[in-house]
């Protein structure tokens, strides 16, 4: 009797063990087939990285978009968003790249990759508008849109202010200074354009804008001079004298200064 019970117990135990093994096999199969499982996401991300490294950006974009949707709120989801922005940038989709980075910055304010996101946003806009002066000759300067340069400047400045110890801070500072000088020179270029066409109010306003926004740029010297000359043409003697006083104080050796021997030459040929 005992032997028979023992055999029956072993048979029952074997049946339970088989059921457990079948259940585990079933769970493994389900996890493997689940597109949202970690294994499936890891495989997708590995494929996306291979495509990025080989330059197959269009295919990488499709894969990264899937990962971003399935892994939302995770570290992998954040990385997929940043990689997606990079892929858009490499395919010359600037608007898409900036939009993706803006989404990342809005949804992940405490991410350890925030400095990189700001740096990339600056780079995308910076490279978009890098050829500013190369295009001026073929375009009415009063119509040139500087939005990309300004967005790059804001991104670089935010990076430097919020993450001064970031590995990207030094380069962001250099680029921000370059953009500031470029934008200031552009504003002066436009002010000169208006002055030569006797649009003195527009010239004064544009020069004043440059002085207010880019105080330390080299172009401010000429901006102050354009302001003084524009106010003079408009009969605004007090504003004219104020502008000349600021110019003489900050640039005592200026060719545009009150005591300069070159004041009688056409001033737009000096620059």
Predicted pLDDT at 55: 93
What's the structural domain count of the chain? Answer: 1
Q: Which domain holds residue 53?
A: 33-93
Predicted pLDDT at 260: 53
Report yes or no on 192 lying in a domain: no
Residue 21 neighbours by CB under 8 Å, 6+ apart: none
- What does the buried/exposed string (b/e) look like for 141-162 if buried means 16 or more CB atoms within 10 Å of the residue's CB? eeeeebebbebbbbbbbbbbee
Split at pLDDT 50, 70, 90, the class of 39 is confident
For the chain, counts of helices (H) and of strands (E): 12, 0
Report yes or no on 200 lying in a domain: no
Q: Which of 27-41, 107-121, 142-156 has the lowest mean pLDDT?
A: 27-41
What does the DSSP 8-state code read for residue 64?
H
Give whole-number Cα distances, 99 to 52, 127, 153, 158, 162, in Å.
20, 16, 17, 17, 21
Contact between 93 and 112 under an 8 Å Cβ cutoff? The reply is: no
pLDDT digits (tens, 9 = 90+) for 134-172: 454 455 444 455 788 899 999 999 999 999 999 999 999
Average pLDDT over residues 245-255: 89
Maximum Cα–Cα distance for the chain, whole Å?
127
Report yes or no on 81 lying in a domain: yes
Q: What angle do CA 16, 19, 23 make, to 5 degrees?
A: 140
Coil, helix or strand at residue 249: helix
Predicted pLDDT at 151: 93
Report yes or no on 194 lying in a domain: no
Distance CA 250, CA 24 (A): 80
Structure tokens belonging to residue 94: 């600037």
Predicted pLDDT at 268: 44
Split at pLDDT 50, 70, 90, the class of 128 is low
Contact between 256 and 247 under an 8 Å Cβ cutoff? The reply is: yes
Split at pLDDT 50, 70, 90, the class of 25 is very low
Res 70 pLDDT > 80: yes
Mean pLDDT computed over every residue of the chain? 82
Report yes or no on 41 lying in a domain: yes
Res 225 pLDDT > 70: yes
Distance CA 39, CA 35 (A): 9
């Amino acid at each position: 009797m005992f032997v028979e019970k023992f055999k029956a117990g072993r048979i029952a135990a074997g049946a339970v063990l088989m059921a457990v093994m079948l259940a585990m096999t079933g769970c493994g199969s389900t996890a493997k087939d689940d597109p949202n499982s970690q294994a499936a996401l890891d495989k997708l991300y590995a494929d996306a990285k291979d495509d990025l490294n080989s330059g197959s950006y269009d295919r990488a974009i499709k894969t990264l978009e899937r990962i971003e949707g399935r892994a939302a709120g995770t570290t992998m989801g954040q990385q997929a968003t940043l990689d997606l922005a990079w892929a858009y940038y490499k395919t010359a989709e600037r608007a898409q790249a900036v939009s993706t980075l803006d989404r990342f910055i809005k949804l992940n304010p405490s991410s350890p990759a925030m400095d990189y996101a700001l740096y990339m946003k600056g780079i995308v806009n910076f490279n978009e508008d890098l050829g500013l002066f190369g295009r001026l000759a073929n375009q009415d300067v009063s119509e040139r849109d500087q939005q990309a340069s300004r967005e790059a400047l804001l991104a670089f400045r935010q990076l430097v202010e919020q993450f001064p110890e970031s590995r990207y801070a030094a380069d962001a500072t250099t680029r921000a200074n370059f953009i500031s000088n470029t934008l200031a020179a552009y504003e002066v270029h436009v002010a000169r354009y208006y002055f030569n066409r006797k649009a003195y109010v527009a010239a004064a306003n544009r020069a004043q804008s440059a002085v207010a926004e880019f105080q330390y740029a080299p172009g401010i010297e000429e901006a102050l001079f354009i302001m003084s000359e524009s106010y003079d043409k408009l009969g605004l003697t007090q504003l004219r004298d104020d502008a000349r006083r600021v110019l003489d104080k900050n640039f005592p050796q200026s060719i545009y200064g009150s005591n300069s021997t070159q004041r009688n030459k056409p001033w737009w040929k000096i620059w």
